[in-house]
Amino acid sequence: MARGKGVTIRDVARRAGVSITAVSHSLNGKGTISEETRARVKAAADELGYQADAFARGMRQGSIGAIGLVMRSLDALGDYTPAGVDVFERFAGILSSRALARGLSLTLVPDLTRSPVPPLAFSMDGYVIMSPNAQDPVIDLLDRRGIPYVCYGKLLDKPDFTRWSSEDDPLAARQILAHFEAAGAREIVLVSGTDRNAWNADFLQEYLSWCERHGVTPRVYEQSERSGLDGGRDAGLRILADGVPEAVFCMTGRHAAGVQQEVLAAGLAVPGQVMIAAASDSEHARSSRPAITAFELNPAGTADLLLDMLQELLKTGETMGPRLTRARLRPRASTRKD
């Protein structure tokens, strides 16, 4: 059952009146087969609805045309509910359709280090790891097993690791800081996430370096990515208690929306007195009033680059990275100062 209707290469060979080698070679364009035989075999295969058994083939060639996706940022959540960041919600679907276009199927594999590990997990051709953490056990496991992988986001603790792609986060960080600056803000607050990934680290570092260059005391408020709107409100209250800043930059759209609610509730004007922006766009950012300026990430472009790298890695055993895409800043009312 579930095995290509039981039509084997032997059936096709019999039908076409040739050997099974002839069938294999014809269908895979491998050996030296006359055009005529090739055509006859193809016809026979079509008539029978022949489809090479993926397992048998995989067993012989050691690869099967399937890659796995591990979403580290979602592993913390039991139910894989989107964390309110557009890019997470969309990436699996986008990667899957991009992979399909290359003849690869995409399997979602939650945390490989937790049992039960699905049987196929260690037989994937390779993996895409989204938002790997520092000292990520999943990365260790793949290394130990010698399974090829590429990452969406760099490995914080392995600066020599190059097989990653992502939006250019430091660039985006500088861009938003310049955006605030151009609108006249100097006292800028950062609401960062708590996951130990490159995304948080890069923005934090650029922020700190900006503060240093401008002689401003940094104000960083940590808030779990998963705390959502309420976490944003919490951060907002803490920020206001410490003194009203000219601008607040949040890593997630939900946090930004929460901060904005509290800022408005305190009777402050957005963007008049406080500007607000987010490092990742989401429905919350778009539909808040005023709408919140945010970066639209580029999961589609990044997915393509990651697949390029992974395929190269599978083929040649190595690949060169990192490869960067660009996030697009979407200026909205929350930072419009005129």
Partner DNA sequence: CTGAAAGCGCTAACAC
Partner DNA sequence: GTGTTAGCGCTTTCAG
Which residue number, 193 or 228, has a Cβ lying nearer to a second copy?
228
Q: Dihedral sign, CA of 179, 183, 185, 191?
A: negative
Adjacency order of strands within the sheet including 188-192? 219-222, 188-192, 247-250, 275-278, 293-296, 328-330
DSSP label at 121?
Answer: G
Site stretch for a second copy (CB under 8 A), options 61-69, 194-202, 204-212, 290-298: 61-69
Q: How far is the CB of 160 from DNA (least distance, A)?
A: 31
Which residue number, 50 or 152, has a Cβ lying nearer to DNA?
50
Which of 12, 22, 121, 305: binder of a second copy (CB under 8 A)? 121
Query: Residue 329: which of 177, 172, 192, 152 has the closest Cα?
Result: 172
Which of 148, 228, 258, 271: binder of a second copy (CB under 8 A)? 148
Alpha helices in the chain (DSSP H): 9-16, 20-28, 35-48, 54-61, 72-75, 86-101, 137-145, 169-182, 198-214, 228-242, 253-265, 283-287, 299-316
DSSP label at 118?
Answer: P
Which of 5, 186, 328, 337: binder of a second copy (CB under 8 A)? 5
Answer with the entry of DNA, a second copy, none that 308 interacts with (C-beta below 5 to 8 A by kind).
Answer: none
How far is residue 190 from each of residues 81, 167, 217, measured CA to CA in Å?
25, 19, 12
| Dihedral Cα 9, 10, 15, 19, nearest 10 deg | 100
Answer with the entry of a second copy, DNA, none that 135 interacts with (C-beta below 5 to 8 A by kind).
Answer: none
Give me the residues paired with residue 330 across strands: 294
Site stretch for a second copy (CB under 8 A), options 92-100, 175-183, 185-193, 232-240: 92-100
- N- to C-terminal Cα distance for the chain? 68
Answer with the entry of a second copy, DNA, none that 32 interacts with (C-beta below 5 to 8 A by kind).
Answer: DNA
Q: Does 29 contact a second copy by CB under 8 A?
A: no
Which of 62, 159, 215, 272: binder of a second copy (CB under 8 A)? 62
Per-residue x/- marks for a second copy, 273-292, CB under 8 A?
Answer: ---------xxx--xxx---
Q: Which residues bind a second copy (CB under 8 A)?
A: 1-5, 49, 51-59, 62-66, 71, 74, 78-82, 89-90, 92-94, 96-97, 99-101, 103-110, 116, 118-126, 144-148, 282-284, 287-289, 300
